[in-house]
Structure 1
Amino acid sequence: MLSGCVTVNAPSEPIVIELNINITAEVVYRLAEDAGNTIEENADIF
């Protein structure tokens, strides 16, 4: 029979996890909704 050995070593440098969160779509949506409401409320000036 063959036997194996598994070694696990911790990395010498810290693990870095970068989280890039994109919130542009939500911001644009909210601005568009607010602009639409403003235009509806002040239709006479547009």
Structure 2
Amino acid sequence: MCLRNIGSALLLGLLLGACTPTVQLAAPKEPININLNVKIEHEIYIKVDKELDNILDESSGLF
């Protein structure tokens, strides 16, 4: 009976030992590429007084 218990314990130990998970860390063989296709659009709104608008008029010759 004692031999049977010892045999059962050894068998159980072997079965549990075979199920241990393994973790492996390895660098990738190819570099990691990240493609960022970004389109940036912006609009600027300027509010100008009428007097200043007349000064900056195209016919004023400043620009």
TM-score class, shorter-chain normalisation, is 0.3 to 0.5
- Compare CA radii of gyration and give the structure with the larger one: 2
The structure with higher relative contact order (CA 8 Å, sep 6+) is: 1
Q: TM-score, normalised by structure 1?
A: 0.43
